[in-house]
Structure 1
Amino acid sequence: MSRIALVTGATQGLGLALVAGLAARMTPDDTVYLTGRDPGRVRDAVAALPAGRAHVRGELLDVADPEAPETLAARLVERHGAVDVVVGNAVMRVGPDDDPREIVGDYSEINNFGTTRLLRAFAPRLPDGGRLLVVASSLGTLHHLAPVLHERFDRATTLDEVDAQVAAWRDAVADGSARAGDWPGFVNIPSKIGQVAAVRALAASRRHEDGRRGVLLAAVCPEMINTPTSGLWWDVSGAPSPDEAAVAVLDLALGPVDPAHYGELVRHGRVLPWRP
């Protein structure tokens, strides 16, 4: 049977590499959707891809739009019957010169609420053997958060509860009160923790049924990647390229399911502990 895959934030970097990798590994009967929010960039990205085995199609998807993920999920299921592999990779990048108070609204809207919208839209529609992966980071564990803040995310048992904690953090950054509190100054840390917490919360409610049906829901850390944005923060001269970093994510998306990965943050096939 043909399979359908979808990658968000796929017009450049890791997202584009994931689309190319899926197209290379899947069959000519399969379809990979390259999605992004700019029609020109989606069109150009599809045109620039090397020929793969699977068919690549472009679709508009702005995860910051509250209705867009649900609308696209319904349309693709109507078109194909199911979406077998979903990789959430949409991200707003920030640089060292960006003022967190000014960017945190858009940043959380894409990275965090965009993630939970994707989970709400596609998880209930996953077929047997389906995969839903959220690209996160090794920063997305409680090791990187002050202990006094752990329970905010550790006790969140629904996506609504995770969203509420992310909104509280966003508002504290925006009004400046986060600076006087225990929140880390680097906005990437709470954001990534919120992404992983969302996966964990949803997985807790679906674990038994997904296990029976061979469904994998997980967060994935592709490690540091050599990109211009990463280079603004760190020396990434020895880091893998997007194509190289995509390999471990593709293995998780298309390889055999390891039950130990379910609901966890996985890096190169190993689970990163959530708690210190």
Structure 2
Amino acid sequence: MNRVAVVTGATQGLGLALVEGLAQRLSTGDTVYLTGRDHERIQQAVEAMPAGGAHVRGEVFDVGDPEAAARFADLVRERHGGVDIVFGNAVMRVGPDDDPRAIIDTYTEVNNFGTTRLLRAFAPLVRDDGSLIVVASSLGTLKQLAPVLHHHFDGLTALDEVDEQVAAWRDAVKDGSARSGAWPGFVNIPSKIAQVAAVRALASQRRDGDLTRGILLAAVCPGMINTPTSALWWDVSDAPTPATAAIALLDLVLEPGKPEHYGELVRFGQVVPFTPGTAARR
């Protein structure tokens, strides 16, 4: 059976590099969906793809649209019957000068509710030996959060629970109570923690069946990448390019899976502990 891959947020940066890498490493009969929210940028990205390898197909998929994930999953089901690789990479980036109160609605709609909608829509479509991956960050661990806040994201067992916690945090940012409390001012930290918590929650429901079928559900940290957005916050002059950063993620989904990666945050092939004091596993 020909393989099918979907990459969200794929018109630039890491997402575009993942599409290019999949196209090169999959077979000519396979299909890679390059998705984003802007039709013109999607078409430009598809047209710039190197020749050869899998067929790259552009589709509009705005993860910030509450109906888009279910709609696009239905389209993939109708065309192919299922999916083999999904990279949830779409993200709304935030800069140092952005006011969290002004952007938090759109930010959580894309980064967090977009993630949980993607997981709900595509988890039932993943075929045997497939992968469902959320691109997150090593910031997405409880180590980055004040201990008094750990209970918000630790031990969650349903995506609805994750959404409830994200909504409560979002509202606290909007009304200013987050800023006067223990929440970090950098909204990327709770957002990334919630993404990893979403993967862990879904994994708690699907673990036995997925492991029997060889399915990998995981969050991944690609490490620091040399992109214009990262450069707003850090010195990334020596950081890898998106193409280089994509290699470890592609290896994760295209090489034989490791059960210890299931439901975890993985960075360069190693599990990053979600809970402080837990030893990392290779």
Provide the TM-score with structure 2 as the length reference: 0.97
State the alpha-carbon separation in 2 of the partners of residues 160 and 199 from structure 1. Answer: 12
Q: CA offsets per residue over residues 18-65 of structure 1, 9 Å max, x none?
A: 000000000001010000011111111111122241010001101111
Percent identity (aligned): 71
State the alpha-carbon separation in 2 of the partners of residues 173 and 210 from structure 1. Answer: 36
1:35 aligns to what? 35
Q: CA offsets per residue over residues 48-93 of structure 1, 9 Å max, x none?
A: 1222410100011011111111111111111111111000000001
State the alpha-carbon separation in 2 of the partners of residues 144 and 218 from structure 1. Answer: 19
Aligned to 2:51, the other structure's residue is in SS state: coil
Q: CA offsets per residue over residues 166-192 of structure 1, 9 Å max, x none?
A: 011111111111111000000000000
State the alpha-carbon separation in 2 of the partners of residues 127 and 16 from structure 1. Answer: 23
The alpha-carbon deviation at position 111 of structure 1 amounts to 0.3
Which stretches of structure 1, 4 residues or longer, exceed 4 Å deviation after superposition? none
1:152 aligns to what? 152
CA RMSD of aligned residues (A): 0.6
> Aligned pair 1:266/2:263, yes or no?
no
Aligned to 1:87, the other structure's residue is in SS state: strand
1:96 aligns to what? 96
Q: CA offsets per residue over residues 136-160 of structure 1, 9 Å max, x none?
A: 0000000000001101100321000
Q: CA offsets per residue over residues 226-260 of structure 1, 9 Å max, x none?
A: 00000000000010000000001101121111000
Counterpart residue identity of residue 157, structure 1: T
2:246 aligns to what? 246
**Unaligned regions of 5+ residues in structure 1, if any?**
none
The alpha-carbon deviation at position 128 of structure 1 amounts to 0.9
Counterpart residue identity of residue 183, structure 2: W
> Aligned pair 1:72/2:72, yes or no?
yes
> Aligned pair 1:109/2:112, yes or no?
no
2:279 aligns to what? none
8 A Cα contact 1:20 1:52, kept in partner: no
Aligned to 2:182, the other structure's residue is in SS state: coil
Counterpart residue identity of residue 100, structure 2: P
Counterpart residue identity of residue 253, structure 2: A
> Aligned pair 1:233/2:233, yes or no?
yes
State the alpha-carbon separation in 2 of the partners of residues 219 and 209 from structure 1. Answer: 18
State the alpha-carbon separation in 2 of the partners of residues 52 and 116 from structure 1. Answer: 34
2:86 aligns to what? 86
2:58 aligns to what? 58
2:184 aligns to what? 184
2:280 aligns to what? none
Counterpart residue identity of residue 121, structure 1: A
Aligned to 1:137, the other structure's residue is in SS state: coil
2:140 aligns to what? 140
1:161 aligns to what? 161
8 A Cα contact 1:84 1:130, kept in partner: yes
How many equivalent pairs are there?
A: 276
Aligned to 2:66, the other structure's residue is in SS state: coil
Aligned to 2:127, the other structure's residue is in SS state: coil
